[in-house]
Amino acid sequence: MNLWNPRSIAGKLTRLNLLVTGTALLLAYVAFLAYDLYTLRQDLISSLTTEAGIVGANSVTPLLFDDQQAAESTLSALKHSPHIRWAEIVSADGKPFATYRQDLGANLELSVKLAPDEKRQYWSKGANILMGSRIEFEGRELGAVYLLAGSGELTRRTGQFGLLSALILSLCFAIAVFATSTIRHLVTDPLTELAGTAQVVSRERDYSVRAPMPASSDELSFLVQSFNEMLEQIQARDRALEESRNALEARVRERTAELTEANKELEAFSYSVAHDLRGPLQHVANIAFLLQNSSTTRASAEDSELMEKLVEGTDRMGALIDDLLNLSRATSAPLRRTPVDLSKMAETILVNLQAGDKKRNVRIKVAQGAHAMVDEGLIGVALENLLNNAWKYTSRLEEAEIEFGYREEAAGTVYFVCDNGAGFNPRYADRLFKPFQRLHAQSDFPGTGIGLATASRIIARHGGKIWAEGEVGKGAVFSFTLPYAAEN
Amino acid sequence: MPRSNRVEPFPRASLTKRGSAALRHGLLALWLLLPLAGATAQPKPSEYDVKAAYLFNFGKFMRLSGGTGEAHRANFEICILGRDPIGHVLDDITANESIDNRAVRVMRIGDAPAARGCDVVFISADEGEGMAADLAALGRADVLTVSDAPDFLKHGGMIQFVMQGDHVRFAVNLDAVDRTHLILSSELLRVASSVMGTPPEEQP
């Protein structure tokens, strides 16, 4: 029962109802009582006036002829007026002449008297009224009569009014309760159900629930209907959203699969091309080698020069094919991370480079202690490409410098390969890592244009970044990161 | 009575003042019953003072039955037959007074027949044996006969003063009244100490 709960609308309505009825009733009670008491008083005064007049008229001869008995018998007629508690006739000299008491207890000493010029006067104290009236006969004052009216009637009326008001108030309360239960049916119950539905929706995000329609058709049913329609729209939109998302995902999956397939085919194709090219090339190289070293046929100088160029060509083509295969492998080979000492790896590569070209004077600097969790084979290829690159572009210098190092940064360890070689135009820095893009002429620095692209791809496969800084003639710095989050 | 037994007095300052004023005037008004011109303060009126006032007041409660009125008489005459025990008090009371628009006169007369022209006659108790003769002489004349002699009513008198303690009262013989055209007011009869005879049929 939420009739009294001030947090419910029904409770509020009940309280309001009772407050209004109670106030109205109280005001009515006070107003009616005041009016009734006023009327009663006026009636009492008027009746006292009449009675005083009658008593006065009947007291003329008793006063004239000094007959107290007659005066008292006149007064005794007042017993028919229950409101008169006490009466007294005083003679002209102010002495009591005859007295009447309603009961033995009623007693009064007159403390007020009519002034000589007053014919009639009344005094009231509380609910008591004292009426004084002059007795005259033929223009001569004989005495006065005083009547005291009591308050019994006034008290009785107040009580009756109170009782009646209490009855009406309880009736109003019953009506208020009845009205509230009606309101509950018509207003509060549908509202409560609506509120419950809204709560379910907001808490469980379940848009399939519906608020029950109230029986009556009014603003409430309109509200419930609108609410339900809103839910329906939300549900429809939700469904459409999910459908389109599902479709999108399906399409993405489809496209990815297609792309992966195409990529694989492409890689398989380039791999097989590179691989299959190797056989015939080796054949050509072998024959060229045989021709060069044949003792039976003496080749002319021109021939031997051509032969040399042929061998050189096959070497370059072999290198290109290797690079292509490396690039292909860098993309497709699975990543197997193991702890690798990069410093040692760099040192080995540089020592090999030095051993391959002993004429060059290159100052080599390798910072020790560069460790990383990487795929050793792939990182080896990347590092080789970067160091080869540095070796190649410092080849024209008398005093070349190549450094492998690393530094700790907030984002992680940054490894770098630094040289003081030919450098590059920073405007084209973004082209450096694209396959077959070269910033230098083949005649200046020979190359396949695949090395940096391969390195970049390997770093990318490790989840790292690679970037280059440099200027023409002032060397270059290739930096890269190899982030490793301890997977699983 | 459920309320308190003692009824509170009415303590209103102005009223109390008025009350005391009324008291002061009340002392002066003591004589209103016996309105003497220039009344001198007297603690208690004497028996004859009261009787004088009654004599005058009786006149106010008597009348003649319809048609037989002797309105030709200009004055309302109160006569004292024989010795006068009342004295000047009656003259003082009735000075400048009137009853039924007739000026009141006080006459002192020596013989009963002269009293026939009076309205009220007071026969002194001193008349003694002569009282019956006096009444006989008046016969059916419309005169209210009053006396303080004992047995006055038995002799055919109309109103007889009787003493009850300190109070002066009076008894009425209605038969005697009925023999004349006089009618006594029932109000007067009400305050009579006793009434002899049948009450008049014609009530005022």
Q: What is the predicted pLDDT for the residue at A177?
A: 78
Can you tell me the distance from the alpha carbon of A314 to that of A277, in angstroms, rounded to the nearest whole number?
11
Per the CB < 8 A criterion, the answer to whether A420 and A484 are in contact is no
Q: Same structural domain for residues A23 and A144?
A: yes
CA distance A242 to B23: 111
Model confidence at A305, in pLDDT bands (50, 70, 90)?
A: confident
Picking from A479, A478, A354, the residue whose alpha carbon sits closest to that of residue A421 is A478
Percent of chain A with pLDDT over 90: 24
Would you give the distance in Å from CA A451 to the centre of its chain? 54
Q: Would the CB atoms of A61 and B50 count as touching at under 8 Å?
A: no
Among B8, B18, B191, the residue with its CB nearest the CB of A115 is B18
| Separation CA A130–CA A305 (nearest Å) | 161
Q: Residue A44: CB partners within 8 Å, gap ≥ 6?
A: A83, A129, A149, A153
Domains within chain B, CATH numbers bracketed: 10-43 (no CATH), 47-196 (3.40.50.2300)
Cross-chain Cβ contact B29/A93 below 8 Å: yes
| B1, B15, B25 member nearest A103 (Cβ) | B1
Looking at the domain assignment, is residue A197 inside a domain? no
> Which band of pLDDT confidence, cut at 50, 70 and 90, is reported for residue A331?
confident
CB contact under 8 A, A61 and B7: no
Residues 51-70 of A with CB under 8 A from B: 60-67, 70
Q: Are the C-beta atoms of A285 and A310 separated by less than 8 Å?
A: no
B32 contact residues in A (CB cutoff 8 A): 92-93, 140-142
End-to-end, the C-alpha distance of chain B in Å comes to 41
Q: Among candidates A201, A203, A227, which has minimal Cα distance to A214?
A: A227
CA distance A31 to chain B (A): 26
Closest approach of A71 to chain B, Cα-based (Å): 9
> Is residue A149 domain-shared with residue A115, that is, in the same domain?
yes
Whether residue B77 contacts residue B117, with contact meaning beta carbons closer than 8 Å, is answered with yes
CB-based contact (8 Å) between B32 and chain A? yes
Partner B contacted by A487 (CB < 8 A): no
Q: What is the pLDDT of residues A80-98, one digit of tens each?
A: 888 888 899 998 888 889 9
Rounded CA-CA distance A385/A456 in Å is: 10
Question: H or E element: which one contains A386?
Answer: helix A376-393
Chosen from B160, B191, B195 to mutate, greatest number of chain A CBs within 10 A: B191
User: What does the pLDDT read at residue B22?
Assistant: 40
What range does the domain containing A231 cover?
A: 207-332
Q: For residue A67, what is the nearest residue in chain B, using CA coordinates?
A: B191
A71 and A137 together in one domain: yes
Q: Which residue has the tokens 């190797």?
A: A278
- The pair of three-digit structure tokens given for residue B18, joined into one six-digit string: 């008025």
Question: Could you tell me the pLDDT band of residue A259, with boundaries at 50, 70 and 90?
Answer: very high
For B68-82, b where at least 16 C-beta lie within 10 A, e where not — what string? eeeeeeeebbbbbbb
> Length of chain B in residues, anyone?
204
Is A219 a residue whose pLDDT tops 50? Answer: yes
Q: Is the Cβ pair B190, A70 closer than 8 Å?
A: yes
How big is the A-B interface in CB pairs under 8 Å?
113
Same domain, A383 and A450: yes
Let me know: does B157 contact B147? Beta carbons within 8 Å: yes
Tell me: do A319 and A352 sit in the same domain: no
Asked if residue A191 belongs to a domain, the reply is no
A180 occurs within a structural domain: no
Q: Is residue A391 part of a domain?
A: yes
Residues of B in contact with A137 (CB under 8 A): 60
Residue after which a domain boundary falls, among A302, A332, A362: A332
pLDDT in tens, A310-319: 888 888 888 8
What pLDDT was estimated at residue B19?
Answer: 40
Identify whether A198 is part of a domain.
Answer: no
User: What is the pTM assigned to this prediction?
Assistant: 0.50
Q: When comparing pLDDT for A411 and A110, which is higher?
A: A411
Residue A200 tokens read as 């379910």
Please tell me whether residues A22 and A95 are part of one structural domain: yes
Whether B18 has its CB under 8 Å from any CB of chain A: the answer is: yes
B30 and A92: CB-CB below 8 Å?
yes
- The H or E element spanning position B163 is strand B159-164
pLDDT tens, A417-461?
A: 999 988 888 888 888 888 777 777 777 777 778 888 889 989 998
Q: Are residues A277 and A340 in the same domain?
A: no
DSSP string, A227-255: HHHHHHHHHHHHHHHHHHHHHHHHHHHHH
> Do A71 and A218 share a structural domain?
no
**A238, part of any domain:** yes
Whether the pLDDT of residue A251 is over 90: the answer is yes
Give the distance from residue A134's alpha carbon to the nearest chain B alpha carbon, in angstroms: 12
The number of CA neighbours under 13 Å toward the Cβ of B104 is 21
Q: Is residue A173 part of a domain?
A: no
Chain A residue closest to B2 (CA)? A152
**Same domain as A156, residue A19:** yes
Specify the CATH number for the domain of residue A420: 3.30.565.10
Looking at the structure, tell me whether residues A386 and A446 fall in a common domain: yes
Q: How far apart are CA A450 and CA A371, in angstroms?
A: 26
Residue A447 lies in a domain: yes
SS3 B174: helix
Question: Where would I find the beta strands (DSSP E) of A304-397?
Answer: 337-341, 362-366, 371-375
Residues 6+ apart with CB under 8 A from A428: A439
Kindly give the parts of chain B with pLDDT less than 50: 1-42, 202-204
Looking at residue A87, which CATH number applies to its domain? 3.30.450.20
Rounded Cα distance, B83 and B85, in Å: 6
A292 near A311, Cβ under 8 Å?
yes
Q: What is the pLDDT of residues A335-366, one digit of tens each?
A: 888 999 999 999 999 999 888 888 888 899 99
Contact criterion met (CB below 8 Å) for A220 and A190: yes
Q: Are residues A461 and A422 in the same domain?
A: yes
Read off the pLDDT of residues A156-181 as tens digits, 9 standing for 90 and up.
Answer: 777 887 788 788 878 877 887 787 77
Chain A residue with CA closest to B25: the answer is A116
Which residue carries 């220039």 as its tokens?
A: B38
Of A295, A312, A332, which closes a domain?
A332
Contact B33 A109 (CB under 8 A): no
Domain end, chosen from A146, A168, A190, is at A168
Cα–Cα distance, A428 to A442 (Å, whole number): 17
Considering the domain architecture, whether residues A339 and A253 belong to the same structural domain is answered as no
User: Residue B13's closest chain A neighbor by CA?
Assistant: A112
Q: Position of tokens 């006067």? A: A121
Specify whether the CB–CB gap between A289 and A311 falls below 8 A: yes
Number of domain units in chain A: 3
- What contacts B196, CB < 8 A, 6 or more positions away? B153, B171, B172, B173, B174, B175
